[in-house]
Amino acid sequence: MFVGNSLTYYHDMPGMLQAMLSEKGHPVRIHQSTVPGMSLRGHFTQMITALTDSTAFTRGKMAGELTGTENKLLERNWNVVILQTGTVEALIPESRNLSVSPAIARTKSYLGGPARIILFNTWASDTTYPLQFCQPGAIIHPSLRSRPYCSETLDNLARHTGAINSGYAKLAADNGVEKSNHGDLFLEMRNLHAEVGLFDDAFHPSPAGSFLNACEFYFLLTGEKAADLDFNGPVPSPKAALLKQVVDRYHEDGNRIRKNPN
């Protein structure tokens, strides 16, 4: 089950993953609770009052209520739950500790049995540098003063990706869960194969970016090579073959990205 926002559901990435799993006969059914613009904490604190393709209108949850995601988590005994939140939260220590970690704990509290929990380690945005991300304390947690809390200053794409990966690694270690490797995979593609085009805008994945995401989750769920799949989704065959190859080589190389020889 995926819990996240548009970074998860863009171009029906969960549907791509389902097609991959079905092609090879894996008895896995993908479910999702994905809401545009929703943070991971919001899945446990906000009630949806109206929903469009790009916007969720919400109000605070009241005593005795359960959100849609909470009801979904209680629906059955899940084998795997994949959690995705806004990347900025992974970069700011106070957000990690006071917003994301409690949401992971809430997820665990709703699971009826043992399950793999995987954090969707997202990627660096298509931006310019230097760059720093900040959030008002009141947005992060009521206990914080009304001043901004910020990430480190990010000077380039490699450092930006490294800070994101480090934030997710800390969340995974602190909460005893796994994480994906999408940050590294996006970095390698942007460094070595920029012509593929992984973005629809500054942050949302293109069809190729969503396909790359699905390939990584296919490996994490099955341990099998994406290159053995016939399914290419909405991506032209040569590009799809390259994306599969990058994911497979990354794991064959011990989760290491390949450097630009130039």
Domains along the chain with CATH numbers: 2-186 (3.40.50)
Query: pTM to 2 decimals?
Result: 0.96
Asked whether residue 260 carries a pLDDT value surpassing 80, the answer given is no
Asked whether residue 244 carries a pLDDT value surpassing 70, the answer given is yes
Sequence-distant (6+) residues with CB within 8 A of 159 are none
Sequence-distant (6+) residues with CB within 8 A of 115 are 77, 78, 79, 80, 81
Report the pLDDT value the prediction gives residue 53, as an integer from 0 to 100.
Answer: 85
Average pLDDT of the chain, as a whole number: 96
Nearest in space to 220 (alpha carbons), one of 163, 181, 171: 181
Evaluated on CA atoms 258, 163, 55, 14, the torsion sign reads positive
Asked whether residue 211 carries a pLDDT value surpassing 70, the answer given is yes
Report the pLDDT value the prediction gives residue 149, as an integer from 0 to 100.
Answer: 97
Sequence-distant (6+) residues with CB within 8 A of 91 are 133, 151, 152, 163, 164, 167
Q: How many whole angstroms separate alpha carbon 40 and alpha carbon 31?
A: 16
Share of the chain above pLDDT 70, in %: 99
Share of the chain above pLDDT 90, in %: 92
